[in-house]
Structure 1
Amino acid sequence: MKNDMNTINEIIKVIGESQLTEISIEEKEFKLFIKKPKLVLGESIEEVEEIEEMAEEVAVEDIKEIISETVGRFYYIDKDENPMITVGMTVKKGQKVGYVEAIGLKTDIKSEFDGEIKEILVKNGEVAEYGKVLVKIGE
């Protein structure tokens, strides 16, 4: 029996040090089944590194928002069908990026920042509520 315990301990040691997850041994009057518990990790190392890289990219890009200070229809394409802004276009602080029109009155919308137009959130001619983000600008 002592010899059998030494053998069992050796088998356990070998499985613990190997990549085997289970072993089954059967002899005349002896059965042995050993199974290592599965180690569950939330993410693989590659996924963690990818998430960290994405977080760095997001942290680097500082997005600023141009917000409607009035209610009305937002226009960034003029009457001659010329866009005042497009995604990817660089704008300067104070540059007109569109206007909001309500009951015949036009209120110019000017950029408060230097940067590149990243996204236009309100379609040309769509209603813009007070406080609604119209345009996103990044560096």
Structure 2
Amino acid sequence: MSMDIKQIQDLIKFVAKSGVNEVAIEEKDFKITIKTNQEPTFVTATVPAAAPVAVATAPASAATPAPAPAATVTAEDTSKFITVKSPMIGTFYRSAGPGKPNFVNVGDEISVGKVLCIVEAMKLFNEIESEVSGKIVKILVDDAKPVEYDQPLFLVDPS
């Protein structure tokens, strides 16, 4: 038995959602180890994978007045837009490599299947394709920055 890329990506997503720090699978013809907090220096504003959920629902965000209005404003501003989210934890890239053109820019028209970006996870470069048609309104992540599972990447105006 061996694993294909899709199975590995699904396993990465599962590990990211589960909140565990490490999963190792060993069969006679392959071995895979997934560590979610292997490089903590790349995690900028968060702690291990399970924490963003806790932060989003923690009473501390209600006690701090600044974040609560920001979340409300974002929800109001984006209500007519579709949010494209990251399907995995990794590093967000806007282009195929240094010096290459960006896959998309603000104002670009996109269609289903159009490559929007790359999310690199464990040295695997995963092209993220659009599941919607419309126009890119905002790019929510800076190039070469870490992203979490389900983190908003783009806002798309479907009209």
Class of the TM-score when normalised by the shorter of the 2 chains: 0.5 to 0.7
Aligned twin of 1:72: 90
Is it true that 1:102 corresponds to 2:131 in the alignment? Answer: no
Distance in structure 2 (CA, Å) of the matches to 1:108 and 1:65: 17
Is it true that 1:134 corresponds to 2:157 in the alignment? Answer: no
Aligned twin of 1:89: 108
Please give the root-mean-square deviation of Cα atoms over the aligned residues, in Å. 1.8
Is it true that 1:116 corresponds to 2:135 in the alignment? Answer: yes
Shift of 1:121: 0.2
Which structure carries more strand by proportion? Answer: 1
Shift of 1:135: 0.5
Distance in structure 2 (CA, Å) of the matches to 1:112 and 1:136: 12
Distance in structure 2 (CA, Å) of the matches to 1:107 and 1:77: 12
Shift of 1:77: 1.9
What are the superposed Cα offsets for residues 9-60 of structure 1, whole Å, 9 maximum, x if unpaired? Answer: xxxxxxxxxxxxxxxxxxxxxxxxxxxxxxxxxxxxxxxxxxxxxxxxx79x
Distance in structure 2 (CA, Å) of the matches to 1:99 and 1:62: 25
Paired residue secondary structure (2:88):
coil
Larger C-alpha radius of gyration, 1 or 2?
Answer: 1
Shift of 1:109: 0.7
Aligned twin of 1:62: 80
Distance in structure 2 (CA, Å) of the matches to 1:98 and 1:82: 11
Q: What amino acid is the match of 1:67?
A: K
Distance in structure 2 (CA, Å) of the matches to 1:85 and 1:126: 17
Percent of residue pairs identical: 27
Paired residue secondary structure (1:83):
coil
Q: Could you list the runs of 5+ residues in structure 1 that have no partner in the other structure? A: 1-57
Q: Could you list the runs of 5+ residues in structure 2 that have no partner in the other structure? A: 1-76
> Size of the alignment, in residue pairs?
81
Distance in structure 1 (CA, Å) of the matches to 2:115 and 2:93: 11
Q: TM-score, normalising length from structure 1?
A: 0.54
